[in-house]
């Protein structure tokens, strides 16, 4: 696999940042977009645009078919049983809110318990927190170990007869820890507890197979998967989508509307109220094709090697401390630098065209636990190379020089 050729497919790298080549190390935040995805959006708007699922004219039918084609592609990509188990949302955030809201409405009552982990992104905590307020449910956090991992036992310990949902990340966007989601799913199901996986960081980097994992819900963020912004995916087992109430009300999701009552439409329309992010959905088909063309096995292999290389290089740099040390680690390298705040690091690196993220990465619970106000994070994508890691390290050394460290 030739990474330089893959990188060439991303037009962003034709631009300079502060007169330097761009070293993009912020893919956990959002990935860059290949030309085919950008072109697809342009082509759709210039040649094929119509709203979907409403009109019977030529353009509407064609657009509807394209829209549904993406659904089928996604279904195959994640090996869901049924295309109707794929719901488009505005992002992973909305996907999780959808589940928390509808599941909470129908199945939760005061005193019920939800298990999360200390690794969760605010997107997989705040929606459940609402239920704490509206329903009086309790939230328990499975604790990380000293390597920043979540073990099966840490979750097992918290399960009680009152546990009604387990919602956990697939791959931590801070420590990079990959959770044993298959085992946790087996555990949950052995106690009849449904499980939601926040797959924002899992889906772009790892092979995911819904039937093999067996989870009830899996949330995906398309903009982190070389796809457009404004789009996410909720995978949910059909039995849940049938059992849960609709989330938002509006056009497209109804069956019959009378003055004295409304019946709701069938799947998948039930959860796709209003005009959806049509162009984004249609362009996302190109992201899936792009991923398929490279092959997720190759992506995993490349990113794994690069993550290991990154760990090695940063460990050798004696002022750098990596955040977490999980054995099973995905493409995230969070770190601190002795005596230099993450924001100063990010500003100095930026001057060299090295784009990283600094802050708590929407994981304040984790940062509090680690006793860190902020960390710097370099996260990888398919276009990154060893040279990028070397440039990162060089710029870190420049920080040290500026701060006389």
Partner 1 sequence: MDLKELYQEIILDHGKNPRNLRKTENFNKDAKGHNPLCGDKVHVYLKLDEDKKVQDISFEGQGCAISMASASIMTDLVKGKEEHEVKEIVQDFLEMIKKKDKLNNKILEENEKTKLMCLSGVKKYPMRVKCATLSWHTLTSAIDNTQEEINSENID
The residues assigned a catalytic role are 362
Give least dist CB 266 to ligand PLP, A. Answer: 26
Q: Helix or strand or coil: residue 138? A: strand
**Sole binder of ligand PLP in the list 64, 70, 97, 173 (CB under 6 A):** 173
Of 232, 268, 310, 353, which one interacts with ligand PLP (CB under 6 A)? 232
235 beta partners: 86, 218
| Residues from 208 through 227 that contact ligand PLP (CB under 6 A) | 221
Q: Which DSSP state fits 216?
A: S
Q: From the CB of 179, what's the least distance to ligand PLP, in Å?
A: 11
Q: Is the Cβ–Cβ distance between 306 and 389 less than 8 Å? A: yes
Q: Name the residue nearer to ligand PLP (CB basis): 223 or 237.
A: 223
- Contact segment (CB under 6 A) with ligand PLP among 1-9, 88-96, 98-106, 337-345 equals 88-96
Tell whether omega for the bond before 183 is within 30 degrees of 0, i.e. cis.
Answer: no
Residues lying near partner 1 in the complex (CB under 8 A) = 339-344, 347-348, 351, 358-360, 364, 367, 373-374, 402-404
Task: Report helix, strand or coil for 167.
Answer: strand
**Of 119 and 396, which CB lies nearer to ligand PLP in the complex structure?**
119
Q: Per CB under 6 A, does 375 bind ligand PLP?
A: no
Q: Cα(39)–Cα(36) distance, rounded to whole angstroms? A: 5
The listed partner (partner 1, ligand PLP, none) that binds 403, CB under 5 to 8 Å by sort, is partner 1
In our burial notation (b when 16+ CB lie closer than 10 A, e otherwise), range 232-261 reads bbbbbbeebbeebebbeeeebbbeeeeeee
Sole binder of ligand PLP in the list 52, 73, 86, 91 (CB under 6 A): 91
Residue 26 interacts with ligand PLP (CB under 6 A)?
A: no
Find the shortest distance in angstroms from Cβ 126 to partner 1: 13
Q: Among 75, 117, 169, 375, which residue interacts with ligand PLP (rule: CB under 6 A)?
A: 169
Which has the closest alpha carbon to 12: 1, 3, 23, 28? 23
Candidates 198, 216, 272, 303; binder of ligand PLP (CB under 6 A) is 198
Is 27 among the residues that bind ligand PLP (CB under 6 A)? no
- Location of structure tokens 């893919």: 27
Is the Cβ of residue 129 or residue 341 nearer to partner 1 in the bound state? Answer: 341
Binding of ligand PLP by 353 (CB under 6 A): no
User: Residue 63 — φ and ψ, nearest 5°?
Assistant: -65, -40
Of the chain, the end-to-end C-alpha distance in Å amounts to 39
CB neighbour list of residue 246: distance below 8 Å, 6 or more residues apart: 102, 253, 264, 270, 271, 273
Using CB under 6 A, list all residues that contact ligand PLP.
Answer: 28, 91-93, 121, 123-124, 169, 173, 198, 200-201, 221, 232, 362
């Amino acid at each position: 696999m030739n990474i330089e050729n893959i990188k060439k497919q991303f037009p962003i790298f034709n631009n300079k940042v502060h007169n330097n080549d761009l070293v993009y190390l912020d893919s956990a935040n959002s990935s860059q977009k290949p030309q085919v995805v950008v072109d697809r959006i342009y082509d759709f708007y210039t040649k094929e645009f119509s709203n979907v699922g409403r009109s019977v004219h030529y353009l509407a039918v064609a657009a509807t078919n394209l829209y549904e084609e993406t659904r089928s592609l996604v279904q195959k990509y994640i090996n869901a049983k049924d295309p109707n188990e794929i719901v488009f949302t505005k992002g992973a955030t909305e996907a999780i809110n959808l589940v928390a809201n509808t599941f909470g409405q129908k199945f939760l009552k005061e005193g019920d318990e939800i298990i999360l982990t200390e690794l969760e992104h605010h997107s997989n905590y705040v929606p459940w927190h609402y239920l704490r307020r509206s329903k009086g449910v309790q939230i328990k956090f499975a604790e990380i170990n000293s390597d920043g991992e979540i073990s099966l036992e840490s979750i097992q310990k918290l399960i009680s007869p009152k546990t009604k949902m387990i919602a956990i990340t697939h791959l931590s966007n801070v420590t990079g820890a990959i959770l044993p989601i298959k085992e946790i799913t087996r555990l949950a199901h052995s106690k009849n507890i449904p499980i939601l996986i926040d797959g924002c960081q899992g889906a772009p980097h790892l092979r995911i197979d819904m039937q093999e994992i067996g989870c009830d819900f899996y949330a995906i963020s398309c903009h982190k998967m070389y796809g457009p912004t404004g789009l996410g995916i909720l995978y949910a087992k059909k039995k849940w989508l049938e059992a849960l109430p609709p989330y938002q009300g509006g056009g497209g999701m109804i069956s019959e509307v009378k003055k004295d009552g409304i019946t709701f439409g069938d799947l998948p329309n039930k959860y796709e109220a209003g005009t959806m992010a049509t162009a984004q959905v249609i362009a996302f088909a190109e992201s899936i094709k792009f991923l398929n063309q490279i092959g997720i096995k190759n992506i995993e292999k490349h990113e794994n090697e690069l993550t290991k290389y990154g760990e090695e290089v940063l460990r050798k740099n004696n002022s750098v401390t990596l955040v977490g040390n999980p054995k099973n680690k995905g493409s995230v390298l969070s770190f601190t630098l002795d005596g230099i705040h993450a924001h100063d690091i990010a500003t100095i690196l930026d001057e060299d065209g090295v784009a990283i993220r600094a802050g708590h990465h929407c994981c304040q619970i984790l940062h509090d636990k680690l006793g860190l106000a902020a960390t710097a994070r370099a996260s990888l994508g398919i276009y990154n190379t060893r040279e990028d890691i070397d440039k990162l390290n060089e710029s870190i050394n420049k920080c040290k020089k500026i701060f006389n460290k």
